């Protein structure tokens, strides 16, 4: 069975950088907001140019859905929608969707207020004679994406009107999706729903303009699909029968992992588990719809926590931490077969990090899915460690570290002297400074694809990591500045990619 993406038929290299970590040099933004994140505007295009100049072929990112207060992309309120915080208002002005002269950032406190003002401008443009083509494109988008957009827009409007109350606390008729109640509330919240529709049309339009530009430059987008979805999400509210919930909508069991490298008490994610029996009854249609959206956005898709398709860690909903959980078998083979029957060339990569059993690897190899190896995990004194370069195989994606790891420089600075010495000896006592020693090792690997976090290319220490699993403070907020990018960096990387035959 050959299911690997064509991107694995040659040696490639890429950068791991979430779009929120891009600089933001836009004109239409509010500087007094809590944090100014990157967008799908000019800085994203400049980053594509940097990658192309350096010879990279792959831009890997984290999930791009709308986030909750903790900003974690792995707890999105939708498995389909785009994060409105990534919308570039400059792009809207440049493409004549809105009149920039009537939307001044100096008149608004938050980016959300700016987007509300932009929506008013957008709908005025759509209703004008000159906006007929734009209006038709908007109507086409709403019709094409209706399989998720209708529920999401109503869910988001309800969240706003209830001051972000969880859907389990909504009035019973709304919580249980009584058709009459939903029809009434749609009319009541029409203005708010229209706002959501505008934002999603803006996101998807900007995304595809950027994707087209990247693809034309030889850059392919590598997405990340969490295996689970957030409980307080449009997906769970809209299709409750697919999840393991009680009769009031509360999870009976939740997801996580047992104690591991990242946490002594395991990780308690809190996502509700799937009702796999219900999903099996209709041929996993919920998942096939989810994949449809991901394929609309990305050229390659990482399945986060792939091992959960073979067996998942089931934690009682009232468990204090993950140690009270147990492994439960999942219908992985049947599920994946349904996915590949629907999408024969499904371009998947399996995230197979952590406690991985022979059964998980058998399932991955049965469907010929590339896995992941992380060099930071390799230097524990065990010569059979699969993350060590001499144990790599061609069908792997090689990382210096992932978004959950420290930066490579930060990791090295915290290593014990014994481990530092082992690392130096392994690489022939090379005098190459960190993190470039490990970056070059990833590029030299036999693995078909090598991915380098942007922090490692910028030689940044542990103060610049993206996430620290098991904690909730200061995660997901890292951004870089163009001043941090040495003018010689692209040329240096291009030379390395030439040496290791990974030039895009």
Supply the residues annotated as catalytic: 304, 351, 404
Q: How far apart are CA 96 and CA 128, in angstroms?
A: 12
Full strand arrangement of the beta sheet holding 326-329: 267-272, 253-257, 311-316, 326-329
Instruction: Note whether 238 and 158 are within 8 A (CB).
Output: no
* Count of residues making up the chain: 504
Q: Residue for token digits 């290299």? A: 13
Q: Which helix (H) or strand (E) holds 255?
A: strand 253-257
Q: How far apart are CA 195 and CA 118, in angstroms?
A: 9
> Can you state the percent helix, strand and coil of the chain, rounding each to 5?
45, 10, 40
Dig out the tokens for 238 from the structure.
Answer: 């809209």
Q: Which residues contact 157 (CB under 8 A, 6 or more apart)?
A: 189, 192, 193, 195, 196
Q: How far apart are CA 48 and CA 54, in angstroms?
A: 10
Dig out the tokens for 413 from the structure.
Answer: 């600075």
Q: How far apart are CA 473 and CA 394, in angstroms?
A: 37
Dig out the tokens for 210 from the structure.
Answer: 């950027």
Dig out the tokens for 315 from the structure.
Answer: 């934690």
């Amino acid at each position: 069975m050959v299911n690997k993406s064509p991107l694995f038929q040659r040696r490639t290299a890429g950068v791991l950088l979430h779009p929120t970590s891009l600089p933001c040099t836009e004109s239409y933004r509010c500087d007094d907001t809590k944090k100014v994140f990157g967008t799908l505007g000019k800085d994203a295009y400049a980053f594509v140019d940097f990658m192309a100049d350096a010879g990279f072929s792959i831009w890997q990112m984290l999930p791009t859905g709308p986030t909750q207060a903790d900003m974690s992309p792995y707890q999105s309120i939708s498995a389909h929608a785009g994060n409105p915080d990534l919308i570039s208002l400059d792009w809207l002005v440049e493409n004549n969707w809105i009149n920039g002269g009537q939307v001044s950032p100096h008149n608004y406190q938050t980016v959300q207020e700016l987007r509300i003002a932009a929506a008013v401008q957008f709908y005025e443009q759509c209703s004008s004679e000159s906006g007929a083509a734009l209006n038709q494109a908007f109507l086409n988008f709403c019709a094409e994406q209706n399989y998720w957009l209708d529920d999401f827009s109503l869910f988001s409007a309800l969240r706003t009107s209830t001051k972000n109350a969880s859907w389990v606390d909504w009035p019973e008729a709304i919580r249980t999706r009584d058709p009459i109640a939903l029809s009434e509330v749609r009319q009541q919240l029409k203005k708010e729903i229209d706002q959501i529709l505008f934002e999603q049309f803006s996101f998807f339009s900007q995304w595809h303009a950027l994707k087209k530009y990247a693809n034309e430059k030889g850059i392919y987008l590598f997405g990340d699909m969490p295996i689970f979805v957030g409980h307080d999400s449009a997906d769970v509210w809209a299709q409750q029968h697919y999840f393991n919930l009680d009769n009031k909508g509360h999870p009976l069991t939740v997801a996580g992992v047992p104690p591991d490298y990242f946490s002594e008490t395991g990780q308690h994610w809190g996502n509700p588990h799937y009702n796999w029996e219900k999903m099996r009854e209709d041929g996993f249609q919920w998942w096939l719809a989810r994949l449809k959206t991901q394929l609309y956005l990305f050229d390659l898709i990482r399945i986060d926590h792939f091992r959960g398709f073979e067996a998942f860690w089931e934690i009682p909903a009232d468990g204090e931490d993950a140690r009270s959980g147990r492994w439960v078998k999942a219908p992985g083979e049947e599920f994946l077969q349904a996915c590949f029957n629907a999408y024969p060339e499904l371009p998947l990569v399996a995230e197979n990090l952590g406690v991985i059993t022979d059964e998980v690897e058998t399932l991955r190899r049965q469907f010929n899915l590339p896995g992941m190896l992380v060099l930071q995990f390799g230097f524990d004194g065990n010569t059979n460690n699969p993350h060590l370069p001499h144990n790599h195989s061609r069908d792997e994606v090689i990382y210096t570290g992932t978004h959950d790891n420290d930066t490579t420089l930060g990791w090295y600075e915290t290593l014990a002297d014994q481990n530092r010495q082992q690392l130096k000896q392994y690489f022939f006592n090379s005098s190459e400074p960190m993190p470039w020693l490990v970056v070059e090792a990833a590029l030299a690997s036999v693995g078909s694809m090598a991915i380098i976090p942007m922090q490692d290319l910028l030689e940044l220490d542990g103060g610049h990591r993206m996430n620290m699993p098991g904690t909730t403070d200061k995660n997901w907020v890292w951004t870089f500045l163009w001043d941090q990018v040495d003018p010689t960096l692209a040329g240096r990387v291009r030379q390395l990619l030439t040496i290791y035959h990974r030039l895009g």
